Amino acid sequence: MQIAILGAGNIGGTIGEKWAKAGHTVRFGVRDPQKPQVQSLVKSLGANASASSIADALRGAKVVLFAIPGKTMAEAIAAHAPALDGRILIDATNNIGAESVNSFPAFKQHTPNASIYRTFNCYGWENFKNPIPGADLFYAGTDGAAKKTIEQLISDVGLHPVYVGGVDQAALLDGVLGLWFALAGGQKMGRKLAFKVLTN
């Protein structure tokens, strides 16, 4: 699968590594593809990874993962709306302190034909690098065929996907982030904290 990852930092770099190793073609869309950290990341991932401008990374991508600062999201989505609309978009960003922590309002405004998902936002990046076996990862978004793709991509990172509902449930993932912060930081349980749903 051809995937564009906007941002090549903790989140973009970690998840990109997992997806490249799973056999996907990953192109990091960044402001400066020549930046040494970006170049060494791409080199370490081999033939399945490359870096380019955001516009070039979006060309031909089936899926786009957003891993840039939350406060830059509205501008990025508006600037690349024609290239993003109709694709599978994943919002892993957190715009802490803003009216909406997720960027679904901007997706709804600028990319009305995209399949939009909220996930990878609610754990520290360490849980994507070295997942606890059996841990769940919640996701919300478009209730359509693209859910299969999201579940595959979550599994490729080493977590178990749990669908919590449609586009109207995106803010639930912001709440999960709040719970994660309260336990990992507030209750000093540590950043390697993940959730598991039990039923019987």
Ligand X SMILES: NC(=O)c1ccc[n+]([C@@H]2O[C@H](COP(=O)([O-])OP(=O)(O)OC[C@H]3O[C@@H](n4cnc5c(N)ncnc54)[C@H](OP(=O)(O)O)[C@@H]3O)[C@@H](O)[C@H]2O)c1
Q: How far apart are CA 77 and CA 107, in angstroms?
A: 7
Q: How far apart are CA 16 and CA 141, in angstroms?
A: 21
Q: How far apart are CA 167 and CA 122, in angstroms?
A: 16
Residue nearer to ligand X on the CB measure, 10 or 113? 10
* CA neighbor of 144 nearest in space, from 105, 100, 87, 73: 87
Residue nearer to ligand X on the CB measure, 65 or 146? 65
Query: CB neighbours (10 Å) of residue 95?
Result: 19
Instruction: In angstroms, give the least distance from the CB of 94 to ligand X.
Output: 4
# residues near ligand X by CB under 6 A: 22
Q: Is residue 48 near ligand X by the rule CB under 6 A?
A: no
Instruction: In angstroms, give the least distance from the CB of 105 to ligand X.
Output: 15
Nearest residue to ligand X, by Cβ distance, number only: 9
Residue window 105-124: x/- pattern of binding to ligand X, with contact defined by CB under 6 A = ----------------x--x
Crossing angle for the helix pair 36-45 and 10-21, nearest 10 degrees?
A: 20
Sites of contact with ligand X (CB under 6 A): 7-12, 30-32, 35, 67-70, 72, 76, 92-94, 121, 124-125
